[in-house]
Amino acid sequence: MEHQRVFETGGRVPQEHIPLSQEKDTTMRHIELSPPSLDTAEKDALLRVIDDNWLAMGKRVRTLEEAFASLHGIGHGVALNSCTAALHLSLAAHGIGPGDEVLLPSLSFVATANAAIYVGARPVFVDVEDELVPHMSLALARQAITPRTRAIITMHYAGYLMDMRPWRELADEHNLVLIEDAAHAAGLEGAGRHSHASAFSFYSNKNMTTGEGGMLLVHDAELEARLRLMRSHGMTSTTITRDQGHAFGYDVVEAGFNYRLDELRAAIGLEQLARLAERNARRVELTGLYRRHLASVAGLGVPFSPAWTQCGHIMPVLLPEGADRLQTMMRLREQGVQSSVHYRPIHTFTQFAGTAADQPVLPMTEAFGRRTLTLPLHPGLSDDDVAYVVEALTNALG
């Protein structure tokens, strides 16, 4: 099959990203893909946690939940130790299970599909609209609905907002649970508004980070209460409430998980949240600058349009047809520029290959997956760095 040839693991396909050389040439500029933005605020916050002598889930986690939910204009936040956990719980709490089908994009990180596998459901991959709008296609999702379909997971690729209203209409029409994989969308205005649950990631390369971590936003207090139980072994009280003397015993009412966040991560998260709007604004500004410089690179495509609502998570481009991506990435590295691929489509991984008869037909996802390359984007880049990256890309494409 076409995608098997292209995405074979036999060396032609780059790994998630090509890191810069371990031994840095100090005379050359080095531009990393997406390092975290950290400073003394995070260091001081960590010291305060140590001084307080309470590391497990506590008051900072709660404060982070409230502040993050409020920033997105959504009623309830449940902090978790990853977005993967958030995706898992969002399906599990809605009773999605064996025999059910979950519609989701193949153009995503593998966690989106793994969440369906965890609950015993079947991920059904849906193609994207086209190469320049690599969001899951609403029309194709509608066609993929069967009597077994129970949920849809959409993903705001690269931090560009999907219009979720028609998705909610589709979900309501068919009585489906609508979940947003909002891993790329921290601080993105409108994310989470129209779905039943939205899952955010605080992984190290995200717009705000806690190292590992995540948040699930929901509109419904009952659902929030259930998620809190599921996050912590199905226990009816947490260590902190017991410790503070608010609860003397606890019951276990279901087989929950340990998906808790801790105070160290929450302390970092609160500092990151305080700077999120400012840093996202800089990311969006840098994206605009990239677009202006990239306009002069022949044959190159830049997904989405400049006016699209976004939070500047990553900077994917479409290499000119026929360009050798791995060679381009190597040549970028020689010039000190780290690059990556977001994403190799999930259905091309061995784990999801299934039988030949099962192979989904996703031509747009595969075309995008073949041509896409992610350039460095983070608030620490200077305007001049962006010009340098585009010059390096031009050289690399030779």
Ligand X SMILES: Cc1ncc(COP(=O)(O)O)c(C=O)c1O
Q: Which two tokens stand for residue 88?
A: 């898992």
Applying CB under 6 A, which of residues 68, 109, 167, 388 lies at the interface with ligand X? Answer: 109
Quote the least distance from Cβ 340 to ligand X, whole Å. Answer: 11
Q: Which is nearer to ligand X, 184 or 378 (CB)?
A: 184
Taking the alpha carbons at both ends of the chain, their separation in whole angstroms is 31
Please identify, using beta-carbon distances, which residue of 112 and 328 lies nearer to ligand X. 112
Candidate ranges 52-60, 78-86, 90-98, 345-353; the one touching ligand X (CB under 6 A): 78-86
Interaction with ligand X in 162-201: which residues (CB under 6 A)?
181, 183-184, 201
Amino acid letter, 106: S
Contact residues for 377 (Cβ-Cβ < 8 A; gap 6+): 33, 34, 283, 286, 287, 290, 312, 313, 314, 315
Min dist. Cβ of residue 203 to ligand X (A): 4
Q: According to the binding rule CB under 6 A, does residue 392 interact with ligand X? A: no
Give least dist CB 299 to ligand X, A.
28
Is-contact 333 24, C-beta < 8 A? no
Q: How far is the CB of 135 from ligand X (least distance, A)?
A: 12
Contact indicator for 79, 72 with CB cutoff of 8 Å? no
DSSP states of 123-164: EEEE-EEETTEEEEPHHHHHHH--TTEEEEEEE-GGGBPP--
CB of 53 to ligand X, least distance (A): 28
Q: Which stretch binds ligand X (CB under 6 A): 29-37, 77-85, 170-178, 299-307?
A: 77-85
* Nearer Cβ to ligand X (82/397): 82
**C-beta separation of 47 from 75 below 8 A:** no
Q: Calculate the alpha carbon distances from 93 to 90, 227, 254 in Å.
A: 5, 7, 11
Q: Amino acid letter at 37?
A: S
Residue with Cβ nearer ligand X (181 or 262): 181
Told to check if 84 binds ligand X by CB under 6 A, we report yes
Q: Which stretch binds ligand X (CB under 6 A): 46-54, 106-114, 282-290, 376-384?
A: 106-114
Q: Smallest gap, in angstroms, from Cβ of residue 304 to ligand X?
A: 16
| Residue appearing with tokens 């409230």 | 66
Q: Does 155 bind ligand X (CB under 6 A)?
A: yes
How many positions of this chain bind ligand X (CB under 6 A)? 14
Among 123, 214, 369, 376, contact with ligand X (rule: CB under 6 A) = 214
Residue 177 and residue 159 in contact, taking contact as beta carbons nearer than 8 Å: no
**Which of 360, 325, 354 is CA-nearest to residue 339?**
325
Give the span between the Cα atoms of 163 and 168, in whole angstroms.
10
- Is residue 83 near ligand X by the rule CB under 6 A? yes
Shortest distance (Å) from residue 179 CB to ligand X? 11
Task: Answer yes or no: are the C-beta atoms of 103 and 126 closer than 8 Å.
Answer: yes
Cβ-based nearer residue to ligand X, 184 or 279 = 184
When asked if residue 108 is in the footprint of ligand X (CB under 6 A), the reply is yes
Is 341 a binding residue for ligand X by CB under 6 A? The answer is no
SS3 content of the chain, % helix, strand, coil (to 5): 40, 15, 45
Least distance between ligand X and beta carbon 217 (Å): 14
Q: How far is the CB of 107 from ligand X (least distance, A)?
A: 9
316 vs 336, beta carbon nearer ligand X:
316
| Residue among 184 and 347 whose Cβ is closer to ligand X | 184
The yes or no reply on residue 42 touching ligand X (CB under 6 A) is no
Tokens representing residue 312 in the block: 């500047």
The runs of H, that is alpha helices, within the chain are: 2-7, 40-52, 59-71, 83-93, 111-118, 138-144, 165-173, 221-231, 239-243, 263-294, 325-334, 363-371, 383-397
Interface positions with ligand X (CB under 6 A): 82-84, 108-109, 111-112, 155, 181, 183-184, 201, 203, 214
